[in-house]
Amino acid sequence: MTDYSIVAEGLTYWYGDLVAVDHISFHVAEGEILGFLGPNGAGKTTTWRMLTGQLKPKAGRATVLGRDIAEDSQKVQGEIGVCFEYTNLYEQMSASENLRLFARLFGIRGFDDDALLRRVGLEGWGKHRVEEFSKGMKQRLMVARSLVNRPKILFLDEPTAGLDPVSAESIRTVILEERERGASIFLTTHDMMEADKLSDRVAFINQGKIVALDTPHNLKQTYGKRALKAEVAAGGGLEYLEIPLDAADTPDAVHDLFSQKKVITIHSEEATLEDIFIKITGRGLEE
């Protein structure tokens, strides 16, 4: 039987008349990365805040590490790591001081801040004040802070948003290492490329409801368009052709392409998660 780190059942939250999260149910297994995708205002952050004990659900329940988060948030918070979308570090303190503060809050003895800084590529920056850091360095420190207590679940809210490629890759590496260690990861993002790269499964949330939940591969199989896209020479210019892969005449069409045309480039056309999201909801992730 699979052990679940997070189980949400009919989780609901509303602000006045606005239902932000509408009876959603899902689970996250141990050592699994769940990508939680949706546009701004879809209910991602509200869900994330309920699961981390910052908000009490108005209806339904969520069990995190076997405990009801609404009833036992303090104990749960001792075993999870949370990385916020926005930078909320103590800027007038050094990187090491920031980490050691949280180690004290978690009651960790013999905490090795240098080792953690090394993991996120901030070796040698421990004594520097955070106000001297670039955005990418701050975000890496935020990730390091969420790892202080070796969490069983890591909640990450847009961890690579707006970062340079080096910082973003560094954070992705840490996320994958944490999964290898056995931690479950709840990754909230509207970056479908990142979700695709990292997630074992992705959930699409739109207007407070989960509209799709599966592995990226299965979603692409289910909702994607299978086709070949070719770029061929035509009268001194270029012509673009699209050949469906599942049609009865696909073999003939492919044969004709190579025998009768000068092919410049050819590749399969896979749907992106964004294409699928648009197909399901009729709106883009960036809206």
Partner 1 sequence: MNWRSIGAIISKDFTLFFRNRFFVVITVLALVMFAVIYFVMPSSVDETLEIGLYAPVVPPAMELIQGAEEGLEIVEVESEEALKKGVTEGAYVAGMVFPPDIMEKLALNQPPEITVYFASDMPDEIREVVSAIIAEMAYLETGQTLNIALHPKLLGRDMAGSQIPQRDRVRSLFAVFVLMTETFGLAGLISEEVERRTAWALLVTPMTVKDLFTAKAVLGTILAFSQALLLLVVVGGMNAQPLIIAIALLLGAVLVTGVAFLMASLGKDFLSVTAWGVPALVVLSIPAVAIMIPGPVSDWIKAIPSYYLTDTIYQVSNFGAGWSDVWRNLLILAGFNAVIISAGIAVLRRKFQ
Query: Which residues make up the interface to partner 1 (CB under 8 A)?
Result: 52-54, 74-75, 77-78, 80, 82, 84, 86, 88-93, 97, 101-102, 104-107, 145
CB of 207 to partner 1, least distance (A): 24
**Distance (Å, rounded) from C-alpha 7 to C-alpha 63?**
5
**Of residues 105 and 238, the one with the C-beta less far from partner 1:** 105
**Distance (Å, rounded) from C-alpha 215 to C-alpha 72?**
31
Contact 48, 155 (CB under 8 A): yes
**Of residues 13 and 102, the one with the C-beta less far from partner 1:** 102
Contact 57, 51 (CB under 8 A): no
**Of residues 90 and 240, the one with the C-beta less far from partner 1:** 90
Of 99, 273, 126, 267, nearest in space to 203 by CA? 273
Return the structure tokens found at 179.
Answer: 């999964």
DSSP state at residue 196: H
CB of 266 to partner 1, least distance (A): 50
CB of 161 to partner 1, least distance (A): 16
What distance lies between CA 146 and its chain's CA centroid? 15
Q: First and final CA of the chain: distance in angstroms?
A: 39
**Of residues 53 and 126, the one with the C-beta less far from partner 1:** 53
Strand locations in 121-247 (E): 153-157, 184-189, 201-206, 209-214, 227-234, 237-244
**Of residues 156 and 273, the one with the C-beta less far from partner 1:** 156
CB of 75 to partner 1, least distance (A): 8
**Of residues 84 and 204, the one with the C-beta less far from partner 1:** 84
CB of 77 to partner 1, least distance (A): 5
CB of 69 to partner 1, least distance (A): 11
**Distance (Å, rounded) from C-alpha 119 to C-alpha 73?**
28
